[in-house]
Amino acid sequence: MIVKPSINNFKMAYQNFPRSYHSDFDCFWNWKNKIESEKDHILDSQNLDRTCQKLLSILKKWQYFRGPKSKEKPHKNLKVALSNISDEYAIIRNLTLLEIEKFPYESFHIIWQELGNMKTLADEASSQQPLVISICKPLMLIWGQTLAFDTKVRNNFTRDQDIRKLNKYRWSLNEWFYSLYLCNKLLNENEEFKYYLTNCSVKKYRKKGPVPFGRLLDIYYFTPGKEASLKKCGIRSDNSPSNDSSGIV
């Protein structure tokens, strides 16, 4: 049975989400929104070095660079991958989860390969699917429309969506696309929840840039709320917004 998303659960998840992870993404997202215009973007030749430095700092804190391949010149590997997906990023950067029918498969195929290779050893490249977090952590930061899909998020997401077969750490591109399709369906079938996330983004990022639906859903599934604990947060047991003033929720 698929679990319907709850505004109250999002409120509690947002409040319980680690503060450092909030600030890491928010600082980067605000900087990205200042940089990007109709022509300029964070992976163009003018901004690539600064983007790489900022991402490297965040990803190190997020324990992204673990494993044998990750210890081999992470800055160089990251810069090469970002440079190789610059053209594809320019195509997808303004698309949101609400527009999944417009997602260019070929562009994402290149992104999937390039980011996946950063944490894939040479003898694994042709025999195994990439680690989903090796792609989705940096992609969530620069694009905002995918969840990071770390262990906690995968456990909660696959349980709520009743797709236990995706509760694994290596995914194919098609499996990732299917997960985004489910996210698109979740948002479009729950207008109140979608509106609430949109409103959160407008308040937090001052109407600049696309709504980072993937990031907000990542928070939701990283620390899912429990109705029994809502009173501790001063939140009503229905789905309507309360009058609390903590952060954006």
- Confidence bin at 47 (pLDDT 50/70/90): very high
Q: What is the pLDDT of residues 181-225, one digit of tens each?
A: 999 999 999 999 999 999 999 999 877 789 999 999 999 999 765
- Whose tokens are 């673990």? That residue is 66
Percent of the chain past pLDDT 70, that is, above it, reads 82
Look at residue 7 in the predicted model and tell me its pLDDT.
Answer: 95
- Confidence bin at 120 (pLDDT 50/70/90): low
Look at residue 67 in the predicted model and tell me its pLDDT.
Answer: 61
Of 177 and 237, the one with more pLDDT: 177
Look at residue 162 in the predicted model and tell me its pLDDT.
Answer: 84
- Confidence bin at 249 (pLDDT 50/70/90): low
Look at residue 227 in the predicted model and tell me its pLDDT.
Answer: 40
CA distance 2 to 8: 17
* Burial readout 213-235 (b: 16 or more C-beta within 10 A, e: otherwise): bbbbbbbbbbbbbeeeebeebeb
Average pLDDT over every residue of 24-42? 92
- Confidence bin at 117 (pLDDT 50/70/90): confident
Mean pLDDT of the chain: 85
Look at residue 72 in the predicted model and tell me its pLDDT.
Answer: 59
Average pLDDT over every residue of 141-148? 98
Contact of 84 with 102, CB cutoff 8 Å: no
Q: What does pTM read for this prediction? A: 0.86
Enter the DSSP assignment of 231.
G
Look at residue 128 in the predicted model and tell me its pLDDT.
Answer: 76
Look at residue 226 in the predicted model and tell me its pLDDT.
Answer: 47
Give the least confident one: 63-67, 79-83, 112-116, 180-184: 63-67
Give the least confident one: 42-46, 64-68, 176-180: 64-68
Among candidates 200, 219, 213, which has minimal Cα distance to 150? 219
Burial of 183 (0-12, 13-18, 19+ CB in 10 A): buried
Among candidates 181, 71, 171, which has minimal Cα distance to 129? 171
